[in-house]
Amino acid sequence: MGQRNARAAGHLQRPGTTKTLGGTGGQALRRTVLPGGLRVVTEPVAGVRSASVGLWVGVGSRDEKRVQAGSAHYLEHLLFKGTQKRTAVDIAEQMDAVGGELNAFTNKEHTCFYAHVLDEDLSLAVDLICDVVFDAVNAASDVETERGVVLEEISMRDDDPEDVLHELFTTAVLGDHPLGRSVLGSEESIEGMTRARVHGFYRRSYQLPNMVLAVSGNVDHRTVLRLVRKTLGQRLDGEIEPAAPRAGRARLPKQDSLVLRTDDTEQAHLLLGCRGLDRHDPRRFVLGVLNAALGGGMSSRLFQEVREQRGLAYSVYSATTAFADAGLFCVYAGCQPNRLGDVVDVIREVLAEVAEHGLTEAEVARGRGQLRGALVLGLEDTASRMVRIGKSELNYGRHLSVEQTLDRIAEVTADDVAQLAGDLLRRPLTATVVGPYADRAALPDQLHRLNRKDATT
């Protein structure tokens, strides 16, 4: 099986070839590696009249030097400001004229430019996305205009305590590693952004071998290839192999145990967690079940203990984040400031109990069911399908079918969950808090003794 998967990996496929990755006939998932190293992956979907197109670039905020912080996101904004043949208004008007959506997002490891249109407007979607990504002007005047926009986006994030909390937690756990920095950059780095800096980042990072064009909906693979070849023309040149997926083990500094951001909020906002699993870890499906059963829904252990039985918080959940070489696991709760100590106690008790004894068979079954339902329901949306195949190609260079994924979820046992919980939930904890506390000394004692052996007694 390993050799078969290796031969199917996108970065090992020769330029100029096409492979069928799953399905049959008109519903087959196909990948073509074009000259220059661009991968085109399509997934036809029966019974729909839409098409979703995403051009994925394997570059994000983790690829920035400190002085470049925020460049990937800044560039995402800038590329929509105009190309060699279209103004920003032209781009917006042409997509609005067909009732479609054209947008983009940046995270720590990749950037995606996407469009959602009627199937008959597929050619426009491909042309617009390729024009924006490959022929942007990146004018100095636009760099100045977008500076104000990005600074406003940073201010908007800073006005949301939960967004601030997640930024603080990521930095506290991952430290000064590039993964620990904000995707948006800092006010200082954005104020210092220049056309030379952001355009240099663009020229170095936006290369065909590091890109995937993913298309899902009422589409035909050969038609998509024809449109891409017509649009990119001479750029598709050379026997260049696609870039391999990111992998390895991040070298992380020591994590902080307690971080406070003082803010005049009505609630105290808490994130409590630890380093998790990277996305290549074979236990990632077990982690998905553990996370769903522990804090993924109204029947979850944390929701029942913190909210339903004790009434300590309105919102409580657990979450995971997986990067190529690192990961995060955390529990969120929002509560009255004078109840924060009690909330920490209950969360710690739940984590300690699950670390020691695992979850019940019924809880694990519900966790599997949550993952199964989320996966299958998401398949009804062509945009979700496009994201699924685009991320799979960029992150792994291979694809699990829906049936294979469901099988992997079904294989997770209560023993698997208990074994992982015993490892993960005993790792050193980090707490980040946003709330009306003057300083760290004003925080409840439970937060100051998180990693002591007597913390839950």
Catalytic positions are: 76
Residue 51, helix vs strand vs coil: strand
Query: Which has the closest alpha carbon to 289: 195, 419, 145?
Result: 419
CB 375 within 8 A of CB 368: no
CB atoms within 10 A of CB 410: 12
Return left, alpha or beta for 116; rule: phi > 0 is left, psi -120 to 50 is alpha, else beta.
beta
DSSP 81: G
DSSP 309: I
Burial of 351 (0-12, 13-18, 19+ CB in 10 A): buried
Question: For residue 445, which amino acid is it?
Answer: D
Contact residues for 294 (Cβ-Cβ < 8 A; gap 6+): 300, 301, 302, 318, 350, 354, 359, 367
CB 128 within 8 A of CB 88: no
Contact residues for 149 (Cβ-Cβ < 8 A; gap 6+): 77
Tokens 């695992």 map to which residue?
358
CA 413 to chain centre: 27
CB 257 within 8 A of CB 449: no
Query: Which has the closest alpha carbon to 225: 241, 207, 213, 211?
Result: 213
Residue 249, helix vs strand vs coil: coil
Query: Which has the closest alpha carbon to 217: 411, 441, 27?
Result: 27
Burial of 43 (0-12, 13-18, 19+ CB in 10 A): buried
Contact residues for 409 (Cβ-Cβ < 8 A; gap 6+): 285, 288, 289, 368, 371, 372, 375
Concatenated DSSP letters for 103-158?
EEEE-SS-EEEEEEEEGGGHHHHHHHHHHHHHSB---HHHHHHHHHHHHHHHHHHH
